[in-house]
Amino acid sequence: MASDGRMADGVLSRQDILGQVEDRRRRSQSFSCIVIDLDGFRSVNDLLGERGGDFVLTQAAERLRRVSDQWGATLGWLGADQFLVLIAEDDPEIATARALAATLEEAVRSQPFEVLGRFLRLTASLGVGSSAGERPDALHLVRSAHLAMYYAKSSPDAVSVYGDDSERIGGSVTSDPELAELLNVVLTEHGGSGLLLAYQPILSLETMQIRGLEALVRWDHPQRGMLVPSDFLVSAQTSRLSRDLDGWVLRRALDDLKLLDTLHLGPEFVTVNLTGSDLAYEGCSDEIVAELERRSLDPSRLVVELTETDLAANSIGEIAESLWELRDSGVRVALDDFGTGASSISHLDTFPADVLKIDKSMVLGVGDNRARMSLIRGVVSLARNIGLEVIAEGVDSSEVVEKLASFGCAMGQGYFLGRPMPLSEVMTVLPTSAGSVAGRESCDSTVQI
């Protein structure tokens, strides 16, 4: 990598490529911008070190340069793992940029990168912004391509065009850039200060004893008060902070489990939600096992949860490889929100699960719905026949508890059994966990879902 800010021969520096954007706009030329981001590149640096990461980045730049040259486009390096491509575009439908973006994406994905005797496969997210049909300023044009790229990261498609997805981008990626910026500071500079965990008890439906706790992240925002995951997870994902956030949640949950053990209050297990994109990167399972070993915790006491939505949006093969490695080490795996995905049953055949969590949308109202009762009975029977434990979410009454228990459902969670609560309240519930903790409210009502 050159010291003057260029990645390689034929690849412009950040200053030069942005200068070209402004020059083309000033001359009223119609063109498109394509922002390219290498997915999960941070894990490459973690795995191979900075020199190895630079080598992979240089290889990627060379592939992108070759494609750009073939199309008469200009390639520049924006820094880190991002590139910018400029191409002439007169078509209001942006046909040229669409086709070029697809070719660039394939160039990154189609062949593995060889470094230090290892072969690594990378994917890329691409966003397209165009001046065709309008004359936006240079900053707006590049920013629109960036926003489209971030939208592509949170969608099943590798390429997103700002004009096509502007409504969805405006509703998600651009919804709260300030929130994303502050979350980045909280995670990377302040060690997660302001983040906290609430725990929802998971009870045996036979004995009504607490068996486990689900860790749920909260953020005590300095201006907005207590935020629940739905308030900031999109910002974390679109800003590539989900891995940092998942890591913080995992470490804090294991620290709390260890503390409960020292007080002789430890539950059987704690469950932690991880995103599919984070589980797909190489080395994820090793990091999780290392955190368990650092605290001398039995791996079987950690349950990693993954939703069907994550399976649909990511490579099941890459995720499954990490999960098999975790299972081999003793960590248990749960398929969360079962019943909400597009191919629930097929996932049971390919997904290395130990626990099946039935989504609350299937459980709510089961007491007076014969069809739903039959469906849940069948799901429980299927899960048990293939060796899975079942947790029902959304348990809202004693009648539902009785029905689920009669079906053979092992465990349940929901507001009737216990609301999410801070660790201090968990400590008061665990010693007297015989019987439901129904009706218990958190000491701090802001930690409710």
Out of 171-175, 187-191, 192-196, 266-270, least confident range: 171-175
pLDDT of 370 > 50? The answer is yes
Written out in words, the top-level CATH class of the domain with range 14-171 is alpha beta
Residue-level pLDDT at 406: 94
* pLDDT of res. 446: 28
pLDDT over 70 percentage in the chain: 81
- First CA to last CA distance, the chain: 48
pLDDT category, 214, cuts 50, 70, 90? very high
Phi/psi for 427 (5° steps) reads: -60, -30
Residue 293, Cβ neighbours under 10 Å: how many? 11
Low-confidence winner among 81-90, 103-112, 227-236, 320-329 (lowest mean pLDDT) = 227-236
Tell me the pLDDT band of 135, cut-offs 50, 70 and 90.
Answer: low
**376, 366 contact by CB (below 8 A):** yes
Q: What 3-state DSSP class applies to 321?
A: helix
> For residue 93, what pLDDT is reported?
73
Please give the Cα distance from 134 to 317 (Å, whole number): 43
Strands 225-227 and 210-221: antiparallel
**pLDDT per residue over 66-90, tens digit each?**
999 999 999 999 887 899 999 998 7
Average pLDDT in the 106-114 region?
90
Domain ranges of the chain: 14-171, 177-447
Tell me the C-alpha distance between 335 and 353, whole Å.
Answer: 6
Question: pLDDT (tens digit, 9 = 90+) per residue, 377-409?
Answer: 998 999 999 999 999 998 988 999 999 999 999
CB 249 within 8 A of CB 217: yes
Confidence (pLDDT) at 174 = 41
CATH superfamily of 177-447: EAL domain (3.20.20.450)
pLDDT per residue as tens digits for the range 315-353: 566 678 888 999 999 999 998 878 654 445 666 666 788
- Please report the pLDDT score of residue 238 as a whole number: 66
Q: What is the pLDDT of residue 367?
A: 66
Q: Is the confidence at residue 426, as pLDDT, over 70? A: yes
**414 — phi, psi (to 5°)?**
160, 170
> What phi and psi values does residue 219 have, to the nearest 5 degrees?
-130, 115
pLDDT of residue 199: 96
> Which of 43-57, 185-199, 337-351 is the least confident region?
337-351
Pairing between β-strand 118-120 and β-strand 113-115 as defined by DSSP bridges: antiparallel
DSSP state of 368: G
pLDDT of residue 86: 95
Q: How far apart are CA 157 and CA 139, in angstroms?
A: 25
Average pLDDT, the chain: 82
The answer, yes or no, to whether residue 365 has pLDDT greater than 70, is no
Q: 414: alpha, beta or left, given left = phi > 0 and alpha = psi -120 to 50?
A: left
